Amino acid sequence: MKKFINANIYKSNAKEIIVADGKFLEIGNNLRVCDNTIDLKNKLVLPPYVDPHLHLDYVYSLSEGLGAKSGTLFEAIALWPKFKKNLKASEVRERAIKGIYDEVSQGVQYIRTHIDVTDPNFTALKVMLDLKEELKDKLDIQIIAFPQEGMYTYKGGRDLVEEALKMGADVVGGIPHFELAREFGEKSIHDIVNLSIKYNKLIDVHCDETDDPNSRFLELLNALVLMEGIGEMTTASHTCSFGSADNSYAYRMFDLFKRSKMNFISCPTENIYLQGRQDSYPKRRGLTRVKEFLEEGINIAFAQDSINDPWYPLGNGNMMNILDNGIHLAQIMSPNEIENDFDLITYNGAKCMMLDQYGFKIGNPANFIVLDENNVFDAIRKRVNVIASIRNGEYLFKRETKYDIKLDL
């Protein structure tokens, strides 16, 4: 049994944590004395960062000479099959571990990853299923059976998604706006929902990742999961076109989203880079309506999406960087908004992943991170580092806070 003291716990007045057998035993103030006491020195303590949308089979593929010169989404998708032809399990594993290290070393303990299953050999999927089990003491990984080239654009794509679910993928994925015609996109949405029900799997769809305001697969997805009562199991990722839709449509949909309880994920750095490529000025930001979702009480989270791949050349798994970019682009930096902004990379992502043992609750796994600041506002303003990550009550890592320097000013 160990006791952590002087902890500024996010959204709590509690300052002390007692851990036993890897779980939260007590959370409060003036708790019992423990022989093993750790002073957190009034630093800000959060539940671990959650990255609910990442492509671990793509990370660092840009370093191997694969890049979209135009910087557009569809060129990047078109380049991927050429690279995938020669995909080797050892290379996928090496790059994925590098991407996981990037994230875990910066406070992430939960990742949901899209794995392309339009590959009859399931090379990447097999690697990721192994890594999920192998690294479970370091982080939780959810795997999405994702048809990157489309369920119907790629011959047999729908059947490959189903086989991936049978093999152990946790989530049904899709990309309806990439199908060859609207009818095929709609058909894929029906298939996604049917597969979710058949195998009792979560849903996470690349949905309307385009500037075209007429791309409205989101409307169909929401209607189907609302009727089936599985909205809380469902996430719509990107939904960029919803940011280009007119207000009359958008506010009608807000009411329907609240009824279905569907989740949303925005990938601010990637979408600001990829979208609006055909615009001159005014130039769209490419983000969905993050601010309005929050104001309407609809769950939305931020995610990294890509690390050094054909879609996005940068990225390093730093969720503080994602948060910083996202709150600027979505204009959510009023004092009240800032006090809640960390939800976008913690609790909201956990809700997308349906993590029922996440956060500071008695009996939950004792997983949390410590930031190099003592309050939310300054932590975000200074974009501070994670100085410790604790999993099941044990340190994954801890590092020095700041360099001691003296300046003559």
Q: Kindly state the average pLDDT of the residues 154-178.
A: 98
How many Å apart are CA 109 and CA 390, to the nearest integer?
A: 9
pLDDT tens by residue, 192-244: 999 999 999 999 999 999 999 999 999 999 999 999 999 999 999 999 999 99
pLDDT tens by residue, 329-341: 999 999 999 999 9
pLDDT(403) > 60? no
36-46 β-sheet, strand order: 23-28, 16-20, 2-9, 36-46, 368-371, 386-391, 394-398
pLDDT(322) > 60? yes
pLDDT tens by residue, 35-75: 999 999 999 999 999 999 999 999 999 866 556 566 666 67
How many Å apart are CA 172 and CA 169, to the nearest integer?
A: 8
Q: Which helix (H) or strand (E) element contains residue 166?
A: helix 157-167
Q: Which helix (H) or strand (E) element contains residue 394?
A: strand 394-398
Residue of 131, 168, 166 lying closest to 57 (CA atoms): 131
| Length reported for the chain | 409
Q: Which helix (H) or strand (E) element contains residue 83?
A: helix 73-84
Q: Which residues are catalytic?
A: 209
Cα torsion 272, 273, 278, 281 to 10°: value is 50
A 10 A CB-CB count for 353 gives 23
